[in-house]
Amino acid sequence: MRMWFVCRFCCPAAQSNSNPEWEAKVLEYFKGQLREKESHSWVPSLNDVPLHYLKPNSLVKFRCLVQDMFDPEFYMGVYETVDPSTKANVLRCGKYKDVTECGVDLNSRNTVTAERQTFYCVPIPGESPWAKEISFLSARVVPSTSYVPSRQKRSYEEDDDDMDTQPQKQREPHTVMMGGGGEHPHGNGDSKRQETEAPSSQTTAPSDCSSHLDLNFPLPGERGPACLVKVYEGLDSFKLNDTLEIYGILSVNPVLTVIVYPHRDPSLLLLNPTESMETPEEQRAHDPPASLVPRLHMLYARPLQHNNPLLPSAPTEDQSAFVSSFLVEMASVRAELLAYLTHVLLGDGLAAEYLLLHLISNVYTRRDVLPLGKFTLNLSGCPLNSYTERLYQIVQQLVPCSYRLSMSLHTMNSMRLVPKKDYVANRLVSGALQLARNTSLFLDETQLEQGQLDSSGVRNITALGNLISWQKVDYDFSYHQMEFPCNINVLVTSEGRSLLPSDCQVPLQPQVTPPNMEEYLTTIHMAQFTSQINKFRVYLSLARTLDYSISDEVTKAVEDDFVDMRKDDPQSVTAEDLHRMLVVARLLSLSLGQTTLSRDGWMRAKHIDMLRRSRTEQQKSLNGNEP
Nearer to another protein, 565 or 611 (CB): 565
Taking the complex as a whole, the smallest distance from the CB of residue 438 to another protein amounts, in Å, to 16
Q: Does 246 bind another protein (CB under 8 A)?
A: no
Closest CA to 360 of 432, 436, 306: 306
CB 100 to another protein: min, Å: 4
Phi, psi dihedrals of residue 99, rounded to the nearest 5°: -125, 160
**C-beta closer to another protein: residue 179 or 349:** 179
Phi, psi of 535 (to 5 degrees): -60, -45
HEC profile of 430-470? CCCCCCCCCEEEEEEHHHCCCCCCCHHHHHHHHHHHHHHHH
Among 176, 331, 482, 603, binds another protein (CB under 8 A): 482
Closest CB to another protein among residues 326, 562 = 562
Closer residue to another protein in complex, CB, 37/87: 87
Residue 151, Cβ density class (10 Å: 0-12 exposed, 13-18 middle, ≥19 buried): exposed
Q: Among residue numbers 361 through 400, which ones bind another protein (CB under 8 A)? A: 365, 367-370, 372
Region of 612 (left: φ > 0; alpha: ψ -120 to 50; beta: rest) is alpha
Closer residue to another protein (CB): 271 or 527: 271
Q: Are 373 and 586 in contact (CB under 8 A)?
A: yes
Min dist CB 460 to another protein, Å, is 12
Residue number, 110 or 316, with CB nearest to another protein: 110
Restricted to residues 42-71, the positions that interact with another protein (CB under 8 A) are 68-69, 71
Residue 349 near residue 339, CB atoms below 8 Å: no
Under 8 Å between Cβ of 252 and 206: no
Q: Using CB under 8 A, pick the residue from 134, 322, 484, 532 that binds another protein.
A: 484
**Are 337 and 539 contacting, i.e. CB atoms less than 8 angstroms apart?**
yes
- Cα 75 to Cα 113, 266, 374: the distances in Å are 6, 28, 43
Q: Where are the beta strands (DSSP E) in 285-345?
A: 295-303
Name beta bridge partners: 484.
Answer: 473
Instruction: Find the shortest distance in angstroms from Cβ 55 to another protein.
Output: 18
- Residues within window 415-474 making contact with another protein, judged by CB under 8 A: 421, 423-424, 426, 428, 458, 462, 469-470
Task: Report the interhelical angle of 317-344 vs 349-359 (nearest 10°).
Answer: 150
Q: Minimal distance in Å, beta carbon 179 to another protein?
A: 15
CA dist., res. 297 & res. 466, Å (int): 36
- Kindly tell me which of 124 and 352 has the beta carbon lying closer to another protein: 124
Among 21, 36, 38, 236, binds another protein (CB under 8 A): 236
Q: How many CA atoms lie within 13 A of 578 on its CB side?
A: 15
Q: Binding another protein by CB under 8 A: which of 73, 159, 160, 600?
A: 73
Residues 343-362 that bind another protein (CB under 8 A): none
Stretch that binds another protein, among 41-49, 210-218, 270-278, 538-546 (CB under 8 A): 270-278
Is residue 271 at the binding interface for another protein, with CB under 8 A as the rule? yes
- Rounded CA gap, 379 and 393, in Å? 16
- Residue 467's nearest CA partner among 510, 421, 418 is 418
Size of the site for another protein (CB under 8 A): 83
Binding mask 546-585 for another protein (x = CB under 8 A): --xxx----x--xx--xx--xx--x---xxx-xx--xx--
- Which string of x and - marks every residue 173-212 that binds another protein (by CB under 8 A)? ----------------------------------------
Residues 213-232 contacting another protein, CB under 8 A: none
CB of 425 to another protein, least distance (A): 11
Alpha-carbon distances of 182 from 178, 276, 277, 425, rounded to whole Å: 6, 18, 21, 21
The number of residues in the chain equals 627
Question: Given the complex with another protein, which of 87 and 367 has the nearer CB atom?
Answer: 367
Q: H or E stretch including 83?
A: none
Query: How near is the Cβ of 228 to another protein at its closest, in Å?
Result: 12
Q: Is residue 621 involved in binding another protein (CB under 8 A)?
A: no
Three-class DSSP category at 531: helix
Interaction residues for another protein, span 293-352 (CB under 8 A):
none
Task: Enumerate residues 583-602 that contact another protein by CB under 8 A.
Answer: 583, 586
List the one residue from 13, 26, 59, 76 that touches another protein (CB under 8 A).
76
Of 405, 58, 64, 61, whose CA–CA distance to 224 is shortest?
64
- Which CB, 133 or 564, lies closer to another protein? 564
Query: Minimum distance from CB of 193 to another protein (Å)?
Result: 25
Nearer residue to another protein within complex by CB, 170 or 447: 170
Three-state SS for 112? strand
Whole-number minimum distance, CB 75 to another protein, in Å? 5
Nearer to another protein, 20 or 129 (CB): 20
Shortest gap between Cβ of 465 and another protein (angstroms)?
9
Chain centre distance of CA 610? 37
- Residues 87-126 interacting with another protein (rule: CB under 8 A): 94, 97-102, 104, 106-109, 111, 113-115
Query: Shortest gap between Cβ of 49 and another protein (angstroms)?
Result: 26
Name the residue nearer to another protein (CB basis): 257 or 396: 257
Angle, CA 321 vertex, CA 315 and CA 325 arms, to 5°: 130
The residue among 81, 73, 62 whose CA lies nearest residue 98 is 73
CB of 559 to another protein, least distance (A): 4
Q: What are the phi and psi torsion angles at 73 (to 5°)? A: -130, 150
